[in-house]
Structure 1
Amino acid sequence: MWGNANVRRSAMFRSAVFVVLLLGLSNAPAGDAIWLNVPQTGTKCVSEEIQSNVVVLADYVVVSEDHGHIPTISVKVTSPFGNTLHHKENVTHGQFAFTTQEAGNYLACFWSEGHYQGAGELSVNIDWKTGIAAKDWESVARKEKIEGVELELKKLEGAVEAIHENFLYLKDREAEMRITSENTNARVAWFSISSLGICIAVSGLQIWYLKRYFQKKKLI
């Protein structure tokens, strides 16, 4: 009996430790806050490689030491295929949200277009969230009527699903890269064989031409 009780206590303790670790992991920040220095002339961009069917949410704001006059910027977000997902001009802050339609690098570019007359560069703070970090968990909690540990476990379940999908995406990318590498190696091999064949053919023609030339000159 005492042995069974100890086993049960040990199992309960491990479960409690596991839940605490899960809560700690689920509370870890999943978004990326980026400080970007935008030059007075030119464009500064940030990009992130994202798979398809992923929610992206970002807030950006211009940070200036001169609180009386906050300079404005222009923003453009494009997909890997060049489609414009967000475009604003002469703004001091804003937000863009979309669900990715194709996998690849999504590009967010910022520029001042000469509107900023101060010294140095502009500072822009970008809070970029994707996937599980961009999900509205308050709405989920209200809809499913969950809270506390159950809500944290729900967050962790979403994080695990996101990690699993990311692994599948990386596996597919690795397979694509392997196929591309094999095709490239095959083409290089055929090119090498063709080059060798051409060299042999040209050498044979040179020998035949020289032999005929020397025969006409009666040197051989």
Structure 2
Amino acid sequence: MPGKADVRRSVMFRSAVFVVLLCGLSNVPAGDAIWLNVPQTGTKCVSEEIQSNVVVLADYVVVTEDHGHIHTISVKVTSPYGNNLHHKENVTHGQFAFTTQEAGNYLACFWSEGHYQGPGELSVNIDWKTGIAAKDWESVARKEKIEGVELELRKLEGAVEAIHENLLYLRDREAEMRATSENTNARVTWFSVMSLGICIAASSLQIWYLKQYFQKKKLI
């Protein structure tokens, strides 16, 4: 059986690991709160680059100092390939939630369609959460009957998995960009060689034509 010293060292080690992971979790973004000024005419959009199979949850609400009137906006959220994920018109607040099917820039656009006639622009508050920040940990705790340190460890595990997935995504993107750069360099090289060959051929043909012309005129 392990002695008291071994048990104490094990507890201290686990505590240290917990503290390190907790510090790592504090550096993980928990979501973005965005203030967006929507003009009376035109559209204002926000976008975020998200990888596939990521949960996205966002709440938006119109904020105005004119409490005597109700001001509404229209909202449209699209995927990188133009698929419509959320579309509402003439609303004061709302929520959209989805799981990404493709990687790329997801776009959320807001416009007032002339419903707001007040001074200046219309303000919209957007609480945008992705990945681990969008998970409902209260439901998980009730469903799996966990709390306290065990719940915090589950959150840390989710954060570590999210960080690992982001690192893999960044690695894949870096490989794609490197492959694209190499293909572009190869194409530019072939284009340069072809351009040089065409110039040499055109110069040779021009010299031959001028030589024939001067010989025909008996100038040489």
One fold, TM greater than 0.5? yes
State the alpha-carbon separation in 1 of the partners of residues 27 and 200 from structure 2.
68
Shifted more, 168-177 versus 42-51: the winner is 168-177
Deviation string for 1:157-184 (max 9, x for gaps)? 1011011111111111111111111111
Give the secondary structure class of the aligned counterpart of 2:35: strand
**Maintained 8 Å contact 1:63/1:70:** no
Say how many residue pairs are matched: 220
- Residue 143 of structure 1 deviates from its aligned partner by 1.5
With the length of structure 2 as denominator, give the TM-score of the two structures.
0.92
**Maintained 8 Å contact 1:62/1:70:** no
Cα distance change, pair 143–40 in 1 and its aligned pair in 2 (3 A) = same
State the alpha-carbon separation in 2 of the partners of residues 153 and 40 from structure 1.
47
Partner of 2:187: 187
- Residue 139 of structure 1 deviates from its aligned partner by 1.0
State the alpha-carbon separation in 2 of the partners of residues 152 and 11 from structure 1.
17
Is it true that 1:211 corresponds to 2:211 in the alignment? yes
Give the secondary structure class of the aligned counterpart of 1:2: coil
Deviation string for 1:40-92 (max 9, x for gaps)? 00000000000001000000000011122131000000000001100000000
**Maintained 8 Å contact 1:26/1:152:** no
Cα distance change, pair 10–132 in 1 and its aligned pair in 2 (3 A) = closer
Shifted more, 65-74 versus 190-199: the winner is 65-74
- Residue 187 of structure 1 deviates from its aligned partner by 0.7
Is it true that 1:32 corresponds to 2:32 in the alignment? yes
Q: Percent identity?
A: 90
Give the secondary structure class of the aligned counterpart of 2:58: strand
**Maintained 8 Å contact 2:28/2:159:** no
Gaps of 5+ in 2: none
- Residue 22 of structure 1 deviates from its aligned partner by 1.1
Aligned 1:1-220 pairs, distance under 5 A: 5=5, 8=8, 12=12, 15-16=15-16, 18-19=18-19, 22=22, 25=25, 30-220=30-220
With the length of structure 1 as denominator, give the TM-score of the two structures.
0.92
State the alpha-carbon separation in 2 of the partners of residues 25 and 45 from structure 1.
30
Give the secondary structure class of the aligned counterpart of 1:119: coil
Shifted more, 17-26 versus 199-208: the winner is 17-26
Gaps of 5+ in 1: none
